[in-house]
A and B are shown apart, each in its own frame.
Chain A
Amino acid sequence: MKKIVFILLFCSIAFLFTGCAVSNGESVTVGKFKKEYIGNEVNPFLYHVEKQSVCIENFSKKLERRPGDRTFGFYLEIDVGEISSNVTKEFFGQYFNNVYFANDCSNTNAFIKTKINVNDFRYRSTNYLGGAVFVSDITYTFFLEGKKVEKTILFNENNEIVIRFVTGTNETMVEHYHKSLINELENQVKPILVNAL
Chain B
Amino acid sequence: VANPRFAVAELWQTFKNCHICHTTCYTPHFLNKGAIRYIFLIISLKKVITVKKLFIFLLLFSGLFATEIVVDGAYSGLLGNPFQAKLGVKSQDISVSAESKMIPIEVSTNRNDFGSIYRKPEFTINSSSCQNVMKTFFAEKYNVVNSSNNKASCKIENVKVNISYVFEKEQWTEQISNIEVETAWQVKLSFDGVAHIRNLNYTMDKTLGKDGTNYGLSIRTVWKPDTSSIEENIKKIIEYSMYRTLLEKDK
Residue ranges of A at the interface with B (Cβ–Cβ < 8 Å): 40-41, 46-52, 94-96, 111, 161-167, 172, 175-176, 179-180, 190-191, 193-194, 197
Q: Is the CB of B77 within 8 A of A194?
A: yes
A194 CB contacts on chain B under 8 angstroms: 77-78, 82-83, 86
Q: How far apart are the CA atoms of A47 and B80 in the complex, in Å?
A: 8
- With A51-B87, A51-B89 as known contacts, state yes or no: A163 contacts B219, CB within 8 Å: yes
- Given known A49-B83, A190-B78, A194-B78, contact A166–B214 (CB-CB < 8 A): no
CB of B219 within 8 A of CB of A49, answer no
Give the CA-CA distance A164 to B221 in the complex, in Å: 7
Contact B220 A49 (CB under 8 A): no
- Min distance, Cβ B38 to any Cβ of chain A, angstroms: 25
In angstroms, Cα B218 to Cα A167, docked, is 7
A179–B215 CB distance below 8 A: yes
- Which chain B positions have C-beta within 8 A of A190? 78, 82
Interfacial chain A residues near B81, Cβ < 8 Å: 46-49, 94-95
Query: Which chain B positions have C-beta within 8 A of A193?
Result: 83
Complex partner residue of B83 from A95, A165, A167, CB under 8 angstroms? A95
Instruction: Find chain A residues with CB under 8 A from B89 CB.
Output: 50-51
From DSSP, what is the main secondary structure of chain B's interface residues?
loop
Contact residues in B for A166 (Cβ distance below 8 Å): 217-218
Q: State whether the Cβ of B141 lies closer than 8 Å to any Cβ in chain A.
A: yes
Q: Give bound CA distance, A40 to B78, whole Å.
A: 19
A172–B218 touching, CB < 8 Å:
yes
5 A–B contacts from the bound complex (CB under 8 Å): A47-B88, A95-B83, A167-B218, A179-B221, A194-B77
Q: How many residues of B contact A (CB 8 A)?
A: 22
Check B62 for interface membership: any CB of A closer than 8 A: no
Q: Mark B204-232, 1 if CB is under 8 A from A, else 0.
A: 00000000001111111110000000000
When C-beta atoms are compared, the residue in chain A nearest to B140 turns out to be A47
Q: Is the interface of A mostly helix, strand, loop or mixed?
A: mixed
Contacts of B109 in A (CB 8 A): none
Q: A175 and B88: CB pair below 8 A? A: no
**Per-residue interface assignment for chain B, residues 84 to 96, with 1 indicating a CB less than 8 Å from any chain A CB and 0 otherwise:** 1011110000000
Residue numbers in B under 8 Å from A175 (CB-CB): 216, 219
Contacts of B86 in A (CB 8 A): 194, 197
Shortest CB distance A63–B (Å): 21
Residues in A neighbouring B141, C-beta threshold 8 A: 47
For A47, the chain B residues whose CB sits under 8 A away are 80-81, 84, 88, 140-141
Assembly CA distance A61 to B87 (angstroms) = 33
Smallest CB-CB A-B distances: 8 pairs: A40-B214, A46-B81, A194-B82, A95-B83, A165-B219, A197-B86, A47-B84, A166-B218
User: Cβ of A40: which chain B residues have Cβ within 8 Å of it?
Assistant: 214
In-complex Cβ contact of A165 among B78, B214, B218 (8 A): B218
| Distance A140 CA – B50 CA, assembled complex (angstroms) | 49
- B84 touches which one: A95, A161, A162 (CB < 8 A)? A95
Contacts of B216 in A (CB 8 A): 175
Output the least CB separation between A186 and chain B (Å).
9
The distance in angstroms between the C-alpha atoms of A189 and B72, with both chains bound, is 21
Residues of B within 8 A of A167 (CB): 218
Q: In the complex the two chains form, what is the Cα distance from A143 to B104 in whole Å?
A: 46
Taken together as a complex, chains A and B put the C-alpha atoms of A191 and B84 apart, in Å, by 14
- Docked complex Cα distance between A40 and B211 (Å): 11
Chain A residue nearest in CB terms to B80: A46
Given A190-B82, A194-B77, A194-B78, A50 contacting B219 (CB threshold 8 A): no
A40-B214, A191-B78, A194-B77 known; A49 vs B221 contact (CB < 8 Å): no
Q: How far is the CA of A161 from the CA of B223 in the complex (A)?
A: 9
Determine whether the beta carbon of A162 is less than 8 Å from that of B214.
no
Within the complex, what minimum Cβ distance (angstroms) separates A30 from chain B?
19
